[in-house]
Amino acid sequence: MACNKALLLVSLYCLYLPVTSTKLTTLLRDKNLTSLKERLTNLEQTIERRLNVTEVLLGQLLTGRNGANLETLNVLSLRSQILRTAFSPVLFSAYKSSSESGISTNVKIRFEGTYINIGNHYHTEHGIFIAPVTGVYMFHWTIITGGTGYTTQLMVAGSSRASSYVPFPGGADSSSAMVIISVNKEDHVWIQIYGSSKHVYGGSTSYGNNQSTFSGILLQKT
Ligand SMILES: *[C@@H]1O[C@H](CO)[C@@H](O)[C@H](O)[C@H]1NC(C)=O
Ligand SMILES: *[C@@H]1O[C@H](CO)[C@@H](O)[C@H](O)[C@H]1NC(C)=O
Ligand SMILES: *[C@@H]1O[C@H](CO)[C@@H](O)[C@H](O)[C@H]1NC(C)=O
């Protein structure tokens, strides 16, 4: 694009102006025209050499390639490419807003409320997080229960990828777990119980408010 080149020339002109103006004063005082011609030629070559170096570097920076031709570079399409690949954060923090009894194996625990749901990839109606991109994610969950102890599992696309045991509660007990794993785009991630007819505390009870939580964050796209 001609305007790229023009911009570059203007900025270079500004850069060189302080240097060239002092040199020109000296040149104008010099009556030896042979010397004047030599020095102008030299100056021209220096500017051309440095302009070449600047164009090569700028081309590499903008495109990541050697030998990018700045004159044919489409700045607008380059910009949209950069925006498309930019990292958009994915983060949710959900809580159980009411207690639930009689939950058995293969039933998703529904965390009905969210403190934070950046990107809206956690779905309160089902208790499922749907990965928007393939990447490395960190998940954390805390379950508080009364009744009998049981295992909770973090499920990714139907397979248990991490688990945590809530010990046999004398009144109530809780357990937390954290895992960092790779998840594929569109995979469903949820927490479920291994056992039958279990209890999960949520909402406001004598044990506090919103005790059971489920959170996740995208650490890195892969
Ligand atoms: C003019 O400059 C040239 C190149 O620097 C030099 O060879 C020549 O002797 C100079 N002439 C005079 C008259 O000073
Ligand atoms: C600058 O680049 C042009 C085009 O690649 C080339 O023809 C020219 O010789 C280069 N000039 C210098 C001083 O390196
Ligand atoms: C759970 O947390 C939400 C968000 O902070 C709050 O609005 C709600 O009142 C809490 N529920 C209870 C039972 O404390």
- pLDDT tens for the chain, 222 residues: list them: 444 555 555 454 545 545 555 566 666 666 677 778 888 999 999 999 999 999 999 989 888 888 888 888 888 888 888 777 777 899 999 999 999 988 888 889 999 999 999 999 999 999 999 999 999 999 999 999 888 889 999 999 999 999 999 888 778 889 999 999 999 999 999 999 988 888 899 999 888 898 899 999 999 998
Q: Which CATH number fits domain 91-221: 2.60.120.40, 3.40.640.10, 1.20.120.1730, 3.30.450.20?
A: 2.60.120.40
Pocket of ligand 2 contains residue 42 by CB under 6 Å: no
Nearest-CA residue for atom 4 of ligand 3:
115
The type of residue at 129 is F
pLDDT at 14: 47
Mutate to test the pocket of ligand 1, among 32, 36, 41 (most ligand atoms within 8 A of CB): 32
CA-based radius of gyration for the chain: 32
How far apart CA 117 and CA 186 sit, in angstroms, is 17
pLDDT at 1: 41
Phi/psi of residue 129, nearest 5 degrees: -105, 130
Mutate to test the pocket of ligand 2, among 44, 48, 53 (most ligand atoms within 8 A of CB): 48
Q: Which atom of ligand 2 is nearest to the CA of 52?
A: 1
Q: Which of 158, 150, 146, 143 is nearest to 188 (CA)?
A: 158
How far apart CA 211 and CA 69 sit, in angstroms, is 59
123: DSSP letter: E
